[in-house]
Structures are given as C-alpha cells and as structure tokens.
Amino acid sequence: MLSKSAEYALRATIYIALKGSEDNKLGIDEIATAIDSPQSFTAKILQLLTKNNNVVSSVRGPNGGFYLTDAARKLPVRAVLEAVGENGVLTKCVLGLKECSETRPCPMHEQYRTIKAQLRQMFEKTTIHDLAEETRKGKIVINNRLVKKK
C-alpha cells in the first residue's frame, strides 16, 4: 500500500507528535528505536519532512532534535505522504494506465473511484494530532508494543 519510506515517515511523525515538544526535542536514536526503523534511513526521511514540507522541525546541537510545532500538528496525514513523494495512491490508476480518467476509465475505475475518495478522505481529514491523540489513548500501537500513557 505505502512504501517503507512513507510508513517510517508516518510512524516517526506520530511518535514525535506524541512524545516531543519544542522544549523536549527527540533524538534520531530514540525515534528510530521507538518506531523500530533503521536509524540512518529514518534520519534521511526526517530530513525530507523538515525541508520539503515543514512537517517536522529540528535543531542541531546539544538538546537538539526533532519536534512538531502546533501548526504542524494540525497538518493532514497527506502532508507527510507528500513530503516523501507518496501521493500516487490518490492519483494513479489501479491498472497503471497513464490515460485512465473519468472520460476514458479503465475497467476498475468506477469501483476504485469510491475507494480512492475514502483514502483521500482518510489522508486529508485526519491530522497528525488526531493520530497522536489516538495513540495517547493507550489502546493503540506504535512499534509493535503499546505506547505508555504519559
């Protein structure tokens, strides 16, 4: 469904939203461990999230790390996907046809249209904050284990 890059991006962003703040920035080692992702690779992805779309903020140096601004928390999940170049799910034809469109639809087009609309809804209506909040409620998982309530 999504690339690993996108998965790591989402998990990292949720984790940062959940545990980090402007005065509690999170280091890449903590993040990667928490979400069970390869550290250096995750660092690259966070670079994308910081510069491509300002989803994540960062500062270097001691006590540096990653965090989310309040504005960033209000961003839709789609912003994360876009930052890592993963918007194809919402735009491309299921059969991979370049010219598939409403006027020249592929044989799965009509059925997929509804699904695509719901995917769009999910990615656009749900914010990073929403996901962090779900996680905070405890019944929810990141990295194959429950995230402790604060």
Partner DNA sequence: TAAAATAAGGATAAAAATATCCTTATTTAG
Partner DNA sequence: CTAAATAAGGATATTTTTATCCTTATTTTA
| CA–CA distance, 51 with 114 (Å, rounded to integer) | 33
Residue 57's DSSP bridge partners are: 67
**Whole-number Å distance between alpha carbons of 86 and 76:** 14
Residue 64 binding result from DNA, a second copy, none, given CB thresholds of 5 to 8 Å by partner type:
DNA
Which residue in the set 14, 16, 31, 68 belongs to the binding site for a second copy (CB under 8 A)? Answer: 14
102 touches a second copy by CB under 8 A: no
- Given the complex with DNA, which of 47 and 121 has the nearer CB atom? 47
Among 24, 39, 41, 122, binds a second copy (CB under 8 A): 122
Q: How far apart are CA 11 and CA 120, in angstroms?
A: 19
**How would you class 134 by CB atoms within 10 Å of its CB: exposed for 0-12, middle for 13-18, buried for 19 or more?**
middle
Side chain identity at 106, as an amino acid letter? C
Nearest distance, CB of residue 130 and DNA, angstroms: 25
Residues in the chain: 150
By the rule CB under 8 A, 97 interacts with a second copy? yes
Residue 39, interface with a second copy (CB under 8 A)? no
DSSP 141: E
Strands (DSSP E) found in 12-118? 57-59, 65-67
* Size of residue set near a second copy by CB under 8 A: 46
Of the listed pieces 21-29, 40-48, 55-63, 119-127, which binds a second copy according to CB under 8 A? 119-127
Residue 88 interface partner, choices a second copy, DNA, none, CB cut-off 5-8 Å depending on type: a second copy
Q: Could you tell me which stretch among 23-31, 55-63, 67-75, 105-113 binds a second copy (CB under 8 A)?
A: 105-113
